[in-house]
């Protein structure tokens, strides 16, 4: 019974957290004004144009994944790799961070691809993406350091503010929590060490992780990797031109707000709901956008981009129904 309650709470937490932030941000917002913005003031041609790089980013991710699987003697259809990525993004709206597992399951069912190996390649691409994001965010934030420091001061997440809030009791509790985490990790590792099935799974994952060393066309892999983030940025930045208030903010405001928003989606809420809204709104206000205009911008842009993810996921599910999954060829 306790286990079921814990699972339910774990499932609900991202939605409660995201919903709480959204409620706090929009508790006094006049939603009736959105009709005028959407029907009269918004330049929809720019929003539609932004869909192209948004879709392209996911296509690049699918093609890169296909390339990473080839050295493992796994040969899924490129189309299925892309469709699996579409589904993974949509699935993450229901359960944050489940997309990686979902897309591996799709390839397992459709092309008989080893689940553990494909999951290993996903881990590898997450490492590559993290390095690229660190380089991008680090460079942009250093370039615009004064604005970033003002953001931290306004949001109260500066290092000094965080440390000042720690009492001696808080420090002791934090240490105890860290020790508990280490203890749990040790127990888990001990269980893993005596499970042959888990050993095989981890071995497959490790093989997938190391697949990057054997990628046949490294420049193409790097092109896809960089292209993903360039496309993500264009998907976001083109929406600036949907509104007269944001069209004049410029490329710098777009880069900084994109980087801060990328960091914000680490918070486990569906598609960064709440955390992304708050972070991007705050940055845009720092660059001179009015509070109301900033709130309207993040609400509409995030809502429409989330709808695009849902539509792509539905399309992928329907498209896969027209292909009968082949007989599994022995991949574990």
The percent of residues in the chain predicted with pLDDT above 70, rounded, is 72
Q: Write out 199-226 in H/E/C secondary structure.
A: HHHHHHHHHHHHHHHHCCCHHHHHHHHH
- Say what the pLDDT of residue 274 is: 78
Q: Which of 116, 17, 129, 117 is nearest to 64 (CA)?
A: 129
Residues 53-67 have pLDDT tens digits of: 999 999 999 999 999
Question: Residue 140 has which token pair?
Answer: 């942009």
C-alpha distances (whole Å) from 76 to each of 112, 212, 296 are 8, 17, 42
Confidence of residue 207 (pLDDT cuts 50, 70, 90): low
CA 245, chain centre distance (Å): 27
Highest mean pLDDT: which of 30-34, 84-88, 245-249, 279-283?
84-88
- Say what the pLDDT of residue 330 is: 41
Neighbouring residues of 163: CB distance < 8 A, sequence distance ≥ 6 = none
Neighbouring residues of 63: CB distance < 8 A, sequence distance ≥ 6 = 78, 81, 82, 224
Neighbouring residues of 197: CB distance < 8 A, sequence distance ≥ 6 = none
Rg of the chain over Cα atoms, rounded to whole angstroms, equals 22
Question: Residue 332 has which token pair?
Answer: 């574990």
Q: Evaluate whether 270 touches 94 at the Cβ level (below 8 Å).
A: yes
Q: How many residues does the chain have?
A: 332
More reliable by pLDDT, 13 or 38? 38
> Lowest-confidence range among 49-53, 91-95, 117-121, 190-194?
190-194
Residues 122-145 have pLDDT tens digits of: 888 888 998 899 998 888 878 877
> Lowest-confidence range among 85-94, 178-187, 188-197, 320-329?
188-197
């Amino acid at each position: 019974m306790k286990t079921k309650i814990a699972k339910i709470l774990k499932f609900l937490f991202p939605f409660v957290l995201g919903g709480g932030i959204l409620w706090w941000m929009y508790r006094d917002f006049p939603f009736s004004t959105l009709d005028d913005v959407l029907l009269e003031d918004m330049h929809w041609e720019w929003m539609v144009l932004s869909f192209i790089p948004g879709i392209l980013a996911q296509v690049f991710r699918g093609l890169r994944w296909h390339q990473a699987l080839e050295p493992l003697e796994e040969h899924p259809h490129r189309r299925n790799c892309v469709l699996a990525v579409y589904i993974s993004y949509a699935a993450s709206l229901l359960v944050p961070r489940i997309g990686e597992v979902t897309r591996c399951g799709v390839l397992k069912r459709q092309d008989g691809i080893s689940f553990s190996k494909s999951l290993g390649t996903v881990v590898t691409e997450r490492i590559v993406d993290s390095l690229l994001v660190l380089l991008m965010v680090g460079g942009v934030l250093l370039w615009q350091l004064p604005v970033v420091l003002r953001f931290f001061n306004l949001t109260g997440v500066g290092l000094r503010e965080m440390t000042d809030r720690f009492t001696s009791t808080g420090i002791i509790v934090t240490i105890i929590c860290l020790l508990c985490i280490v203890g749990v990790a040790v127990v888990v590792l001990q269980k893993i060490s005596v499970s042959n099935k888990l050993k095989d799974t981890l071995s497959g994952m490790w093989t997938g992780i190391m697949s990057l060393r054997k990628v046949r066309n490294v420049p193409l892999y790097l092109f896809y990797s960089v292209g993903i983030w360039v496309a993500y940025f264009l998907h976001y930045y083109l929406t600036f031109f949907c509104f007269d208030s944001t069209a004049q903010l410029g490329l710098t405001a777009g880069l900084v707000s994109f980087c801060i928003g990328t960091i914000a989606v680490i918070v486990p809420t569906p598609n960064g709901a709440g955390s992304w809204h708050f972070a991007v709104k705050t940055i845009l206000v720092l660059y001179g956008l009015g509070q109301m205009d900033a709130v309207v911008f993040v609400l509409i842009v995030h809502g429409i981009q989330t709808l695009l993810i849902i539509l792509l996921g539905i399309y992928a599910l329907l498209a896969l129904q027209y292909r009968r999954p082949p007989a599994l060829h022995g991949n574990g």
